[in-house]
Chain A
């Protein structure tokens, strides 16, 4: 479904952002992408929704190749991908319902189906009662739920989340994360970049760790399994994998 093969990215000013990254994400999988700031997490996510292209190597997303994808094909792909950001990216002058509806309207969805779909996703994220609220009237957690509802409106095969809990308090983080788990349980793959190591440790999902643009750990790949910095020489019981392998 998603495949990165020997992907490199070099920016003219800031230099090498990714060096030879290879991994796959299977249908319905939940994957954490972790690593310190500047390790290349966001660059990989941009590759997934084709907002940027590798300098070398290839990225395939649902059959679309980074080498050949152009305007309309990328637009069509994005309609099958949900994207969520740390800063929510909601339109402040539109209600929650209008923000979600916007994603359908601008992609030319049939008018007759819009109302029902919007109502369904707002119920799914637990915000049916706040459909007419503006973003400023909602808490951070609620705003992120609206953003998730917008991301889910087109029934995506994967939801890409870039630090979705980065701006939220612990309680809201738990709520949003539970929502993402529910979405995943319903069959949508999730690729989530995060700094929240507690969240990663507490979850049974696959973890990919990046450092200085290199993939240094992948919990699903035996060849990449190694203790994180500071954990060398410490015995880690098999049943605790993938916990405790994320560098801070």
Chain B
């Protein structure tokens, strides 16, 4: 109770410093959160592209439907496979005409072969897996050719790996910068109350008692900073959505984690700063 009152009194005595602390925490978390949101959206976009990775086996003309049905059942049981579709000659023609738009007329009936389209499970779309499924499909006598955009799949996979590594590295860097800035801000608040701390020690306050108001202070500032950062990120997200492209926002769990992260950084920053200060005097 006294800790909360002391924390409030300290904020009232130095309102500018308190506002500065909250804003610094908010902006540090904003930068980190904005990067996080961008990373989530890039990951989602890549996943959407990945979903389009498919292996297509073209069926020789005159193949009986029973053999094709047996093959579809077979392929559907491959562990990597999520979905198998049969596209007959007419469906292939309709699809080609739709995709080609004004050049639709170049295709005539009977030109395009029927095919088996295979979609792989999420997480199983590595170039090796795609190639392996294609190889197994080739073993069917009635499958003339198998296409899966070999180069494209490899490029996509490489891009995903680079994005993941860059995301983790940049995320860690952003988080480290946020922690350092927040730590320095809290240290400033601790130094502003150095005299008070030294008197508390001299009159016999325990270290825990001295730490408590700072922890409460850190908790409150960290939480408010986290909420403000979330508000800024949401505004940025809305602006992007309105003027540039459709993006997704954090889900509930991530919002909660973000606010909790602010509070934890506030408390940890206070704990470290006061601890260092107490050891130093």
Residues of A whose CB lies within 8 Å of any CB of B are 49, 51, 71-72, 75-81, 83, 89, 91, 93, 102-103, 105-108, 150, 154
Contacts and interface: CB of A to CB of B under 8 A. Distances in A.
Interface in B190-221: 195-196, 198-207, 209-210
Given A75-B204, A89-B195, A103-B203, 12 more contacts: A49-B202, A75-B205, A78-B204, A79-B203, A79-B204, A89-B198, A89-B202, A102-B199, A102-B203, A106-B203, A106-B205, A107-B203
A91 B199 contact: yes
Contacts of B209: 106-108
26 contacts: A51-B201, A75-B204, A75-B205, A75-B206, A77-B204, A78-B201, A78-B202, A78-B203, A79-B204, A89-B195, A89-B198, A89-B199, A89-B202, A91-B195, A91-B196, A93-B13, A102-B203, A103-B204, A105-B2, A106-B203, A106-B205, A107-B205, A107-B209, A108-B209, A150-B203, A154-B204
Contacts of A91: 195-196, 199
Contacts of B200: 102, 106
Give 3 closest A-B pairs by Cβ, nearest first.
Answer: A79-B204, A78-B204, A106-B205
A81 B200 CA distance: 13
Given A89-B198, A91-B195, A105-B2, A72 B206 contact: yes
B106 to A, nearest CB: 85
Contacts of A150: 203
B206 A71 contact: yes
Contacts of A154: 203-204
A164 to B, nearest CB: 14
B204 A107 contact: yes
Main secondary structure of the interface of B (DSSP, over half): helix
Residue of B13, B201, B205 with highest tally of chain A CB at under 10 A: B205
B197 to A, nearest CB: 10
Nearest to A153: B203
A151 to B, nearest CB: 8
A77 B200 CA distance: 13
A189 to B, nearest CB: 17
Contacts of A108: 209
Contact of B202 (A76, A83, A93, A105): A83
A160 to B, nearest CB: 10
A107 B198 CA distance: 14
A86 B68 CA distance: 99
Nearest to B278: A71
A20 B191 CA distance: 36
Nearest to B200: A106
Contacts of B210: 106
A243 B205 CA distance: 40
B193 to A, nearest CB: 10
A100 B130 CA distance: 78
B207 A71 contact: yes
A49 B210 CA distance: 18
A83 B209 CA distance: 20
A76 B203 CA distance: 9
Contacts of B196: 91
Contacts of A78: 201-204
A75 B207 CA distance: 8
A197 B209 CA distance: 40
Contacts of A89: 195, 198-199, 202
Contacts of A75: 201, 204-207
A154 B205 CA distance: 12
A102 B198 CA distance: 12
Contacts of B201: 51, 75, 78
Contacts of B199: 89, 91, 102-103
A150 B207 CA distance: 20
